[in-house]
Structure 1
Amino acid sequence: MIRFSTSVHKISMFNRTLSAILVTSALLSQSVGISPVQAASAASVASAVTKPASITVDSQSVTWEYAPFVEKGTTYAPLRQAAAALGGQVKWNQAKQTVEIYDHGDTITHRAGTNVIQINEVRLMLPAPSKNMSGTLMIPLRSLSDAMKAGLQLTNTSSQMIITLKSDSSTIMSSESAAIDQYLKEAGYSGIALIASNGDIQLRKGYGLSDHNSLVRPDQKSRIASITKGFTAAAIMQQVQQGNISLEDPVSKYVSGIDRGNEITIHMLLSHTSGLPSNFTRAEGITMEDTLAEIRTKKLMAEPGAEYRYSNNGYILLAAILERVSGKEYGVYLHEQFFKPIGMKDTGTATPSTKTIKGYTDQKGTWAEASYYVSQSGTGTLYSTVDDLLKWDQALRGNKVLSEEIQETMYTPYSDRNYGYGWMVSETEEGTVVFHNGSGTGYSTGISRNLDNGITVILLGNHAGMDMTGMLNHIQEMALK
């Protein structure tokens, strides 16, 4: 790879009088203008460190008309040229003294001389304000790359600065999905979204913040909450397919001490018709056996098989039954039977050290970082990515992990709430849609799969309380237009 060094501007050029700076700053630098008042910032960088710079963007060597420099540990680069090199369309709003960058459906704005950059409705703080250098707006490069979801590697040697940039390749947005993207932005959605048609990705994008000053990127991991139940049901049905479990087996065959466990069947647990209550104690360090001991103390809220009552405890029991039948821990079984064969490398059982996008809860009108989301095996412990969940969707559609007959059993509603086994079922004009939403401390998630037209919608949201079912349904409809 051939690299070219940028020209180095001498520090002495900045030692001008203030009036001279104000005159110079009135000139626009290739469509990006700076106000005369903000031009005074040039005088503050006399101590900046400049050296030859080798700049590579997407494996191509580039030169910038104004050399990047380092001041107080922050690397500055020319905003217009850097943003354009990363694929953004850059405009200068003279009236607002604001740079506007359009990238992957997002509007990125920055007012010259401030330390804020805004992506749609989300604000990121810069480590220092942008600076006008002879009519060229210089901005902290890492902040710009973060705003454009680009990759950045900075290396400083004694003789040169090496800048390696990689434009955002993880975001996918087809022209057909522009309306869905706009809908998600207007809805205030925060998290990761993926829409695919027969496995072909139409939209793959991150929205909002993943932590206090970083944007969500579409390749990040997230807790999936009750989408976990679809994996639990699939694991049990795999055991049914292999003849190791019968849907009519009573719970008491595998777990003792459950109220009327001799009447509650595997089928009832899967379809949420067991009558078991839903809630269980959530605290770090509680084991499966601890939770089972708690479930043994609970009384039924309805007759076994009489009605639909969503029950987390029922799916915890299914995980316990799976462990007893297979001889493997719940997470190990899923990894060996599903995740590894399908290639779901970024899916597993979450722990406090698992790096996922942060969850947020509404605290008096302000989104505050939520505490760690504690769950139990079978009901909500998994993390994943939208890419891995699409692999799961395609594996199911291709009958790679479960037979078509077994899946038909899973996608059959068994109550007036249209719940099958790990999936809710909806009959629409466009075909049968199976879906599941999830909620956990700071998270709202959902997956929706039209079995007939091949549309798959995956939402891994990191704001609690979002209407996932409504959003899934609306996006399914929009995807057909």
Structure 2
Amino acid sequence: MYKNYIDSLIENKELPGAVLHAIKKKQTLCYKAVGSFIGGDAQNYPVTENTLFDVASLTKVVATLPASLLLYSQGDLHLEKQVQHYLPDFKHEKVKVEDLLTHRSGLPPDLPYVARDGQRDVMDLIYQTKLQQEPGIAVAYSDLGMILLGKIIEKIADQPLDFFTKEHIFTPWGLHNTGYKLPSSMKAITASTENFGNRYIQGEVHDEKALHMGGVSGSAGLFSTGKDIARFAKHFLYPEEQDVIPPDLMRMATRHKQNNRGLGFEVWNGEGNELSCGPNWSIGSFGHTGFTGTSVWIDPRSELIVVFLTNAVHYGRSTNIRTIRKKLHSMIYSSVRGETS
């Protein structure tokens, strides 16, 4: 049973803490908080259903994707236009906005590593970065493309990304515990991530690029709860039940385009390397993962949502989270199929 599996992960110290929120046809199957973490004050704290997590790259689909779709629906963002149209300092004239969302920009996955206590101009470095391949052809996951998209959103909206997403996406969608740059009161209930120097990082973004950008990025920087990520997922599973973004655009984002990618989301096409939901989920299932140990998966055919938030990097960056995700999601899917067959 998957609930026992979660407990065993904590007992065996494969994960420090986690929140699992599974929903089928709008009915909660499991809402479980387990484990604990060491805070920035070196004290031990239990993970609860209200614990916030640094969701890392879930930022790409929870913040940057819906913000892009909203601006697209208003006619302010054009997917077929060149990135240069919005950001003249970007030198690769063939890269289009849609290439950023589908990870076909040709940009490398990341910038060279710089520690948290270092300094750099992230945008200037991205503008100087050479393409690794011709844009618009092959899928190659890139943080840099989504960082660029975040800057495009800011330029169009004439507003910082954290303000824009809170006002136009999170608040109207009811994601009241989701946002960038946490206030002190919320940092205290946030699962700490990695030990750096003499303390655990708590309530500050784990991703170094996002940190060096002031905590706000199109690629990472967001904090959220299991309940909020589940609510986000419901909006994409039942897009006609929200009125922020036209439902047809939300469905467009979750359709397969190439190499198990849609717009922003990973989309299982039944071919190639299996995704983090495992091999058994329905073709057309979509989701995303985050480096800290977070994920969200949605199976439209089964009307199944699984949100799994952990701070796996608490024990260091060499985690077993990829194997854990596949096993957990496969167990949940088998359980659900068993209940309904």
**Please, what TM-score do these two structures have when normalized by structure 1?**
0.56
Name which of structure 1's ranges 337-346 and 276-285 shifts more when overlaid on structure 2: 276-285
Measured in 2, the distance between the counterparts of 1:405 and 1:251 equals 24
Deviation at 1:265, TM superposition (A): 0.3
Match of 2:263 among 394, 401, 421: 421
Tell me, yes or no, if the aligned pair for 1:446 and 1:472 is still in contact at 8 Å: no
Match of 2:254 among 393, 406, 411: 411
Match of 1:358 among 174, 185, 192: 192
3-state secondary structure, aligned to 2:2? helix
Deviation at 1:239, TM superposition (A): 1.1
**Please, what TM-score do these two structures have when normalized by structure 2?**
0.78
Q: What are the residue-to-residue correspondences of 1:160-179 with 2, within 5 Å?
A: 179=1
Distance 1:282 1:312, change over 3 A: farther
1:327 aligns with 2:158: yes
1:199 aligns with 2:26: yes
Q: Judging by fraction of residues, say which structure has more helix.
A: 2
3-state secondary structure, aligned to 2:285? strand
Measured in 2, the distance between the counterparts of 1:249 and 1:323 equals 16
Deviation at 1:430, TM superposition (A): 4.1
3-state secondary structure, aligned to 2:48? coil
Q: 1:197-248: per-residue Cα shift (whole Å, max 9, x none)?
A: 1232221111211325222112111111111100211211111111111111
Structure 1 gap segments, 5+ residues each = 1-178, 362-367
Measured in 1, the distance between the counterparts of 2:173 and 2:117 equals 30
Match of 1:186 among 1, 4, 8: 8
Deviation at 1:267, TM superposition (A): 0.7
Tell me, yes or no, if the aligned pair for 1:319 and 1:330 is still in contact at 8 Å: yes
3-state secondary structure, aligned to 1:296? helix
Q: What are the residue-to-residue correspondences of 1:381-460 with 2, within 5 Å?
A: 381-396=221-236, 397-399=238-240, 400=242, 401-416=244-259, 418-427=260-269, 430=282, 432-439=284-291, 443-460=292-309
3-state secondary structure, aligned to 1:279? coil
Letter in 2 for 1:405: D
Structure with bigger RCO (C-alpha 8 Å, 6+ apart): 2
Deviation at 1:456, TM superposition (A): 0.6
Deviation at 1:286, TM superposition (A): 6.1
Tell me, yes or no, if the aligned pair for 2:284 and 2:300 is still in contact at 8 Å: yes
Aligned length: 291
Measured in 2, the distance between the counterparts of 1:180 and 1:450 equals 18
Map of 2:136 onto structure 1: 305
Structure 2 gap segments, 5+ residues each = 211-216, 270-279, 314-318
Distance 1:351 1:343, change over 3 A: closer
Measured in 2, the distance between the counterparts of 1:342 and 1:454 equals 19
| RMSD, aligned CA | 2.4
Tell me, yes or no, if the aligned pair for 1:431 and 1:451 is still in contact at 8 Å: no
Q: 1:372-413: per-residue Cα shift (whole Å, max 9, x none)?
A: 513421111000001111221222323313223212321122
Match of 1:242 among 74, 85, 108: 74
Map of 2:218 onto structure 1: 378
Measured in 1, the distance between the counterparts of 2:64 and 2:286 equals 16
Tell me, yes or no, if the aligned pair for 1:199 and 1:390 is still in contact at 8 Å: no
Tell me, yes or no, if the aligned pair for 1:191 and 1:459 is still in contact at 8 Å: yes
Tell me, yes or no, if the aligned pair for 1:191 and 1:210 is still in contact at 8 Å: no
Deviation at 1:333, TM superposition (A): 0.9
Q: 1:125-150: per-residue Cα shift (whole Å, max 9, x none)?
A: xxxxxxxxxxxxxxxxxxxxxxxxxx
Tell me, yes or no, if the aligned pair for 1:259 and 1:300 is still in contact at 8 Å: no
Tell me, yes or no, if the aligned pair for 2:54 and 2:223 is still in contact at 8 Å: yes
Measured in 2, the distance between the counterparts of 1:471 and 1:199 equals 23
Map of 2:335 onto structure 1: 478
Q: Which has the larger radius of gyration?
A: 1
